[in-house]
Structure 1
Amino acid sequence: MSDNTMAATAIPAQVPAPASAAPSVDATNSTTFAVILSLSFCHLLNDMMQSLVPALYPILKDSYALTFGQVGLITLAFQCTASMLQPVVGFYTDRKPQPYSLMIGMGFTLVGLLLMSRAASYPMILLAAALIGMGSSVFHPEASRVARMAAGGRYGLAQSLFQVGGNMGSAAGPLLAAFIVVPHGQHSIIWFSGAALLAMFVLFQVGSWYARHRAARKPVARGKAAASTATLQPLSRGRVAIAVAVLVALLFSKNVYSASLGSYFTFYLIAKFDVSVQTAQFYLFAFLVGIVAGTLAGGAIGDRVGRIPVMWFSILGALPFALMLPYANLFWTGVLAVTVAMIMASAFSAILVYAQDLMPGRVGLVAGMFFGFSFGLGGLGAAALGELADVTSIETVYKLTPFLLLLGVLTAFLPRHPGGAPKVA
């Protein structure tokens, strides 16, 4: 199927101008799975390398005698670099698209990874983590734009396929850490530099496709915008601002709770159940696999039933399971963690596509904002939860954070139609 769609996109350049209109629209509307899957694969490699950072936490904590607060600051350095730069990158590329910036972003990740493998001090670890975060800040906004360009109207599916690559990479990171990094130590991270080089090669090909097809999409995009304007009344700036604030609050509740699991789940399992580091990594892997399944399901379901029902279910549906988790035994802790992961992960593609529909023409800025908010809120949450764990205990963190999911009730304030209300004849 991917070969056919890629071939279809080449038709407008091969036929005379009078006959090219219909094929051009069809080619532009088709879902180019080859491009989406290439982006997903690179997202997998990118996030696999990035997930090695939290997977290293137990090793770094022991090697450098770090407190939980210092561990949280590593996450903060990693996440906030991406958080601060992603909206800037997205805003700039909305005005001046940069097809080959995807490859450059992966280069930052490569440099940070190499530096992390050789870091011999805490400040050097923070610098390496910041460079890896910078790579994400360049990669995510433009990759999200290209995924939407290749979606053919199936925006939820395209974003979920793109996102699920990242989730799979995040899930693979702890597993690879358990088999490679934990036995061989911090320096073994350098072995993953080949993945970065492979991703840079693939992203060069994607950038070439993007450069060739960006101009061909402009007339169709203008036609769609005109049709949308004819059928929808745009929302006022005030309602857009309220909707964006609600989406940010939903991300806050989702990502701070996710940070408690992603950054400290291994410590929680070791402290409460006295399991080994490798066993704890396997449980973290199962949790991250749950995120993969939930992300993929959420995008496809959102295309069918709408984004708002998915948001309702994702945030509030996870609450009862999150409340039970701190009181479960080891087996049920794993089951509940995976269940919470699947339910909560279904929201991200729905939130992102809803926001892009809310602010048409600003795909890069929206992707940068929401990927950035996702990283930044997770980083702030990890740092704050690390301090809370130092003052109280890691078990206390898991008893308090589920109540953040009550912010899901704010979904009631979102407009039903993000692009505006339908005009009444």
Structure 2
Amino acid sequence: MNMTSPNKEKVVSLSLAHLLNDWYMNYIQTLLPFLVTAGLGVSKGAFLISAFTITSSLLQPVFGYLVDQKNQRWMVYVGTIWMAVLISLVGLLKNYPLLVIVAALSGVGTAAFHPQASAMVTAVSGNRKGFFQACFTAAGNVGWALTPLVVVPFVQAYGLDMTPLFILQGVLVAILLWFSAPRISSEVKVAPPSLIPILRSNWVELTKLVLVVAFRSLAYFGLIAFLPLYLQTTNISLLAGSRLLFVMLFSGAMGGIVGGYLSDRIGRKAVIVGSLVISSPMFYFFLNTNGFLSYVLLALAGAALLASFSVTVVVAQETISKNAAMASGLMLGFGIGIGGLGVGLVGMIAEHQGIVFAINLLIWLPLLAGLFGLGMNVKKHTI
């Protein structure tokens, strides 16, 4: 597989679908200030994010295991439309327990999409797995970045009652995937070995990777959820804050592409550790500057934070190479899910200690993730 040429058309198609799919993954976080204004407490809103994260992330290894046993092409389009329909109802619901249930059920859709789609990208990427997995991941991060730019002005203009209109792009993505998702042939898709011995023999390295991803994702999800609230305390409007959030997330997407490119050349570990270690100081300087320089620092911080996003997926796939979808599920799901669950706890901290304390806690988590990364033993790779 390492010597084959990549199918760039399939990578582009899957990446576009990933962009639109992940647009929904930042939906509840973007709605949080509006939900708080409507009477939902900060901690309740944060745990709503955690409910979505439990299913959207922690179930991904389960779906990844199913994909490794047999190609499950239907997961990419059924999962997308399932999430789109349910999550678009969040703005309408007033009953909190029902809101939590709908958020949790909507996460099942993206849990089905990601392992299969990521495994498809790996299968059609030939000898450029690091770079094209980075492009796929970056497209998803662009989707995250676009959510506040679309949702914030829309909800300000039309209110939460009109949010079901956001179902439409999910339908379009499902149609795209129905026609364009690659069919992995039996020559490429072979039956994987028994999973338990694979995990038993690699659990130490996988645990290190999960810890790196968990602390990185807690910083990521936490900043997305609480940075707009923090900026409001500094007299920056919600709309202006959404633009700053776009700068961070879009720069993160570009950083992910650069990180994937560099990982094929200077090594996976160097990219993971180096980018995370420099991310925290950049966030610190952003919080303590103003004007154009603050935008530059936030862009650099976002790029550094997400430079290792796809690299950790590739490392997991190279660690358990016969279970690529399961590896994707562990990194995109289980690792991210652990971090995402912590957002609810950060919300409690914000309510009791203040949003400023919570933000200053979050920005140093990438440094901690980088220190965990120092202990990884990453396998050699070739291009």
- Counterparts of 1:128 and 1:236, CA distance in 2: 35
* 2:330 counterpart letter in structure 1: M
1:268 aligns to 2:233 (yes or no)? no
Match of 2:268, as an amino acid?
R
Match of 1:294 in 2: 255
1:254 maps to 2:229: no
For 2:163 and 2:335, locate their aligned partners in 1 and report how far apart those are by CA, in whole Å: 25
What is the CA distance between 1:314 and its match in structure 2?
A: 1.5
Alignment partner of 1:373 is 2:373: no
Distance in 2, Cα, partners of 1:117 & 1:409 = 40
Q: How many residues align?
A: 377
Distance 1:169 1:136 in 2: 13
1:88 is the counterpart of 2:75:
no
The aligned counterpart of 1:386 is 347
Question: Is 1:99–2:39 an aligned residue pair?
Answer: no
The answer as to 2:31 corresponding to 1:56 is yes
Q: Does 1:308 align with 2:282?
A: no
Shift in CA distance, 153/321, structure 1 to aligned 2, threshold 3 Å: same
For 2:26 and 2:364, the matched residues in 1 are separated by 26
Q: Taking every aligned residue pair, what percent have the same amino acid on both sides? A: 27
Contact 2:227 2:359 (C-alpha < 8 Å) held by counterparts: no
Cα deviations by residue, 1:357-382 (Å, 9 ceiling, x for unpaired): 00011111111111113441332221
CA–CA distance in 2 between the matches of 1:324 and 1:32?
41
Partner of 2:188: 217
Letter in 2 for 1:170: W
Would you tell me which structure has more helix in proportion to its own residues? 1
Map residues 157-176 of structure 1 onto 2, 5 A cutoff: 157-176=131-150
Q: 1:398 aligns with which of 350, 359, 372?
A: 359
2:42–2:351 CA contact under 8 A, matched in 1: yes
Q: Does 1:328 align with 2:289?
A: yes
Note the aligned Cα RMSD (angstroms): 2.4
Note the residue ranges of structure 1 that are not aligned, 5 or more in a row.
Answer: 1-24, 226-234, 420-425
How far does the alpha carbon of each residue in 1:13-70 deviate from its partner, in whole angstroms, 9 at most, with x for none? xxxxxxxxxxxx89x812011111111111111111332221111111111x122111
Provide Cα deviations, 1:91-126, integer angstroms capped at 9, x if missing partner: 111112211221110121122134224323222322
Q: After superposition, where does 1:6-21 map in structure 2 within 5 Å?
A: none
Q: Is the 8 A contact 2:89 2:163 kept in 1?
A: no
Q: 1:244 aligns with which of 177, 182, 206?
A: 206
**Aligned AA for 1:62?**
T
Contact 1:90–1:364 at 8 Å: present in 2 too? yes
Distance in 1 (alpha carbons) for counterparts of 2:213 and 2:296: 24
- Residue 120 (structure 2) aligns with: 146
Larger-gyration structure (1/2) = 1
**Which residue type is aligned with residue 164 of structure 2?**
I
TM-score norm. by structure 1 comes to 0.83
* 2:4 is the alignment partner of 1:29: yes
The offset of 1:331, in angstroms, is 4.8
What secondary structure does 2:72 align onto? coil
Once the two structures are superposed, the pairs formed by residues 56-75 of structure 1 within 5 Å of their partners are 56-63=31-38, 65-75=39-49
TM-score (norm 2): 0.92
| In structure 2, C-alpha distance between the alignment counterparts of 1:139 and 1:43, rounded to whole Å | 9
